[in-house]
Structure 1
Amino acid sequence: MPDVPDAELLRLDHQVCFSLHAASRAFGGVYRDALKDLGLTYPQYLAMLVLWEDGPQPVKAIGERLRLDSGTLSPLLKRLETAGLVRRERSAADERSVTVQLTDAGSELRERALPVPRRILSSTGMTVEEILTLQGLLGRLTGALDEAQ
């Protein structure tokens, strides 16, 4: 938008960050409903997705994958442990490292979570192809913003 005056660019409707923020909040509401029966919050669901996909992981690896710091991730994992879905264990080799693994209940919850992605996709009103295109664009955006820091 090189020919657009700076004052016009300053409008809320022109802020891509606000569009992403609004979409994220809308997703939050849809996920809240979809995850209610599983007893998970959206951030807990993301952590469970990592464990279902990759198996036991150090807390640090989960944080890197989810782009969460340990101050946010540790209480989240503690709540999952209290719910009986995961187990946290200190590494014998490195006492500073904590590994998280699913319990039987956490593994079994995966089956109940299987309908969630289709429910969310349906809520978007978009086709699978549109979602894949959007994910690609958001991946490029995230990479560019990471580089800009």
Structure 2
Amino acid sequence: MTSTTFSPIHPDPADLPKRRRSRARALALLAAAVGAGLEIWAMIVVAYATNGFVVLFILLAGSVLGAGLVRRAGLGAWDDMTATLKRAGRRKAGSEDAAGGTAPTQRPIDSKSGLRLLGGLLLNVPGLISDAVALVVLFPPIRRLIGARAGAARR
């Protein structure tokens, strides 16, 4: 009669290799915790200065506006993508030369949809500080400035 030993389902933790967490992961968790603490603190301060219903109304209004902005930015990005694909299809069908066509011209980076999406997402995050940052991002002169900086950094 032979007896067999089965390996345990859960191995001994001492036998596992040591995994080290990355520093960026730890900093991201710390930043998220600090951000959540600041958001709660801001809500308490505003609720103490006014009342809780005002804070609730601000949070609900921000969520509704944010959802609308995300939807609008997504539809705008979808329209841009379909228009680009249609232009590329027409250009390919019209240029049946021996070289195999020309390279598509590169359109300048349009960060309007992306920044609107970012503003909508920040409005959806429950909190007053994220709402304030979202309104700053959605302000047209600042949005143009951020878009110009992003375009310059990408080149």
What TM-score do the two structures reach when normalised by structure 1?
Answer: 0.25
Which of structures 1 and 2 has the bigger CA Rg?
2
| Relative contact order higher in (CA < 8 Å, ≥ 6 apart) | 2
Q: Greater strand percent: which structure?
A: 1
